Structure 1
Amino acid sequence: MTTNIFLVRHAHSTYTPEELKRPLSEKGLKDADIVKKLLIEENIENVISSPYLRAVQTVEGLASALGEDIHIFNEFKERKLTEGAASDFEEAIRKVWEDPSFSWEGGESNKVAQQRGVRGIKTVLEKYENKNVVIGTHGNIMVLIMNYFDEKYGFEFWKKLAMPDIFRLSFKDNKLVDCKRIWKDT
C-alpha cells in the first residue's frame, strides 16, 4: 500500500508583517478554489495545515468540501529565516542553502528547519499510513522536506516554485518512491 502526501504551497497572500495572520490575496483565494477542485479528485482522506492563515485558507475549501476538519501541525509552518526582515532576502536565503548549519540571528538553519518538517512528515506517515493526505504549507519548508528525501530538491528548485504549487509524494514503507508535480500556477 502507498501513502500519498500532497504538499500544497500556499496561494498568493497579501503582505502583512504579522506572519501568522497573513491572509490570501484576491488572486490567492481564487487559486485556492482551483486547488480544491484539483485535489477533490485525489480521494483525499485527511487535511493538515501549518498554523499560518495563508496555508489554512489554501486548503480550507477542500476540507470543507470533504466534510473534514483541518488538523494543525506546527511542524509545517514556514522556517524562520531571521529576526525581523532580512535586508537582502535573496542573499539571506541563498546563504542558508549554501551552508545548511548556518542560521541568521533569531532564525533557523536549514538543518534545524528540515528536522522539524521531516519530524512532521514521519508523524503523518505513521498516523495516516496508506491514506491520501493534503498538507497546506510553505515553499521553503516544503522544499527542505523534499530535499531530505532527494537532494535534487534544493535552492534552484525552490526559486522556481509558484504560489500555489502542489507536489504528490508517494511513500511505501516510509520510503519516498515517487514525487510528481500536480499543478503549478503559471
Structure 2
Amino acid sequence: MHTEVILVRHAASVPPTADGPGQLTRPLTRDGLRQARAWVDTLIAPRPAAVWSSPYRRAIQTVRPVANALGLPVRTRWDLREWDDGLPYTDDWISHYAESWADPARARPDGESLDKLTARASAALRELAGAHRGQVVLVAGHGTFIARALSGFGAPVDWAFWQRMSMPAVYRLRFAEPAADPAVTGLETE
C-alpha cells in the first residue's frame, strides 16, 4: 500500500519588502492566483484525500482552488512553514542563502540551520504520509522547505537546484512506508 504526497511550491507571490507584508501574510500576485487556478485539473486528477499547507497565506492561496474543487478544507501545520533563516530584511539575501547552502549546519542568531530545516521538513512529510496511509495527500509549501525535504529523502538537491526551482513547482513523493525514503518525481510547471 503506497502513500503519495504531492508537494507544491506556492505560485508567484508578492516579493518581500522592508515595509511588508510579512511572511505570514504575503499573498500571491494576480499571476500567481491565475497559476493556482491553472493547476486545478492536474492536482485533482490523483484525487487527494486531504489538503495540507504551510500557514503562510501564499501557500494556502496556491492550493485553495484545488481544495474547493474537491470539497476539502485546507488544513495548516506550523511545521510546513518556510525556513526560519534568521535574517532581518535585506535586498542582498541571495548571498546569505548561498552561504547557508555552502554550510548547512550554520544558523544565524534566532534562525534555523538548513540541516535543522531538512530534519523538520522530512519529519513533517513522513508524519503526514503516516497519517494518510494508502492515500494521496496534497501539501503546499515553500522553495527552501521543499528543496531541503527532497534532500533529506536522498534526492540530489543543491543550491543550483534551489535557484532553478519555479513557482509553482510540483513534486510527487511515493512512500512504500513512511519510515522509508520515498521515490521522488517532478512535474513540469509553466
TM-score (norm 2): 0.92
**Which residue identity does 2:105 align to in structure 1?**
S
CA offsets 1:47-96 (integer angstroms, 9 cap, x no match): 00000000000000100110111110111110021231245222111111
Q: Does the aligned pair in 2 maintain the 1:22–1:54 contact within 8 Å?
A: yes
Unmatched runs of 5 consecutive residues or more in structure 2: none
Aligned to 2:184: 179
Task: Provide the secondary structure at the position in 2 that maps to 1:176.
Answer: coil
Aligned position for 1:55:
59
**Match among 57, 67, 71 for residue 67 of structure 1:** 71
Higher share in helix? 1
1:24 is matched with 28
Contact 2:122 2:153 in 1 (8 A): no
Distance 1:106 1:39 in 2: 36
Aligned equivalents of 1:49, 1:124: Cα separation in 2: 11
- How many aligned residue pairs are there? 185
**Structure 1, unaligned stretches of length 5 or more?**
none
Aligned partner of 1:76 in structure 2 is 80
Identity, in percent, stands at: 28
1:99 is displaced (CA, Å) by 1.1
Partners in 1 of 2:184 and 2:39 — Cα distance? Answer: 18
Displacement after TM superposition at 1:145 (Å): 0.4
Shift of 1:104: 2.1
* Offset from partner CA, 1:158-186 (integer Å, 9 cap, x none): 1110010101111102223421112312x
User: Over the residues paired in the alignment, what is the CA RMSD in angstroms?
Assistant: 1.4
The correspondence of residues 30-179 of structure 1 with structure 2, limited to 5 A, is 30-86=34-90, 88-174=92-178, 175-179=180-184
